Amino acid sequence: MTMELQQSLEYAAPEVRSRVRPFAAPDDVRSEPRFVRIGIIALATAFLSVFVVLPLVVVFAQAFSKGVSAYFAALSDPEALSAIRLTLLVAAISVSLNLVFGVIAAWAIAKFEFSGKTALVTLIDLPFSVSPVISGLVFVLLFGAQGYWGPWLQSHNIHVLFALPGIALATSFVTFPFVARALIPLMQEQGTQEEEAAISLGASGLQTFFRVTLPNIKWGVLYGVLLCNARAMGEFGAVSVVSGHVRGETNTMPLLVEILYNEYQFVSSFAIASLLAMLALITLIAKTMLERHIDEEELPHDD
């Protein structure tokens, strides 16, 4: 056995030695052969163009297929304006709610020890693992006329489902994890020393939060808000269930894209879709910029 092994090692040895020889081309040593590299890069580029660039181009090509004036006419249609308005309003509501809850939750989880912490983290992640349609249906079960609180709400003439509150609730639920998820690792990384220092110097809890904690995480907060906003504006499934599809009233932009498409109004449909695509592009650029700032935040401050 040992003989055999030694033999095979001996056989292998010259080959190995030749591969690490210093005077061989340095490229060949450090990376894959050239054709593999080119192949992989070509594959990635092809994949990206088919799955990312091409759809984007198609969206804009369709949107402008009947000219610029048709494009702007489609966007200034009252139904389109109402959808844009509703989408902005819903995004503003759910982002502000999730900003407050997300920062508080992340603060509690990262800076304090308490029982049930793991359960809380799991709960925050719940909306990620639940299908959006289910998230919507849950609100139908709670607020629907046949649901738990429906009869009471109806008798008091409060409309939650098929109105703005329902859409905002469903969107907030679906986008709940974004802010908290962006902050928890960042705040855990930063630890509690700075807060401890502030408190030992006589700062109150709130002062510590606003003067020490918040400035440290501001880029992280913006990052969470950005992702939260992108998802809130783009949410389809949950909103579709609770919207009621009342035209010019409870249709958000993604819902309107589908409706117009089904009405053979391709220019209008893709005009709205192009707005969502632009939102995605802006989000992407802002995200890249923010990530640079967050990397700085994570660095220890005392060096």
Partner 1 sequence: MIRRLLPAVAGLLLWASSAVAADLTLLNVSYDPTRELYADFNKAFAAAYSKETGKSVEIKQSHGGSGSQARAVIDGLQADVVTLALAYDIDAIASKGLIAADWQKRLPLNAAPYTSTIVFLVRKGNPKGIKDWDDLIKPGVDVITPNPKTSGGARWNYLAAWGYAERKFGSADKAKQFVADLYKNVPVLDAGARGSTVTFVERGVGDVLLAWENEAFLAQREFGKDKFEIVSPPLSILAEPPLAVVDTVADKKGTRAVAEAYLRYWYTKEGQEIAARNSYRPRDSEIAKEYENSFAKVELFTIDEVFGGWAKAQKEHFAEGGVFDQIYKN
Which is closer to partner 1, CB of 237 or CB of 244? 244
Binding flag, residue 223, partner 1 (CB under 8 A): no
- Considering only the stretches 80-88, 167-175, 194-202, 294-302, report the one whose residues sit in contact with partner 1 under the rule CB under 8 A: 80-88
Please give the Cα distance from 152 to 238 (Å, whole number): 23
Which is closer to partner 1, CB of 153 or CB of 180? 153
Q: Least distance (Å) from partner 1 to the CB of residue 74?
A: 16
Binding marks (x or -) toward partner 1, 82..121, rule CB under 8 A? ---xx-xx--x-----------------------------
Please give the Cα distance from 239 to 166 (Å, whole number): 8
Longest Cα–Cα distance of the chain, Å, equals 91
Please give the Cα distance from 39 to 244 (Å, whole number): 50
CB 229 within 8 A of CB 290: no
| Number of residues near partner 1 (by CB under 8 A) | 28
Which 115-174 positions form the footprint of partner 1 (CB under 8 A)? 140, 143-147, 150, 154, 157, 159, 161-162
Please give the Cα distance from 117 to 113 (Å, whole number): 7
Please give the Cα distance from 155 to 292 (Å, whole number): 53
Binding flag, residue 237, partner 1 (CB under 8 A): no
- DSSP state letters, 147-168: SSSHHHHHHTT---TTSHHHHH
Q: Least distance (Å) from partner 1 to the CB of residue 115?
A: 36
Binding site for partner 1 (CB under 8 A): 85-86, 88-89, 92, 140, 143-147, 150, 154, 157, 159, 161-162, 244-249, 259, 261-264
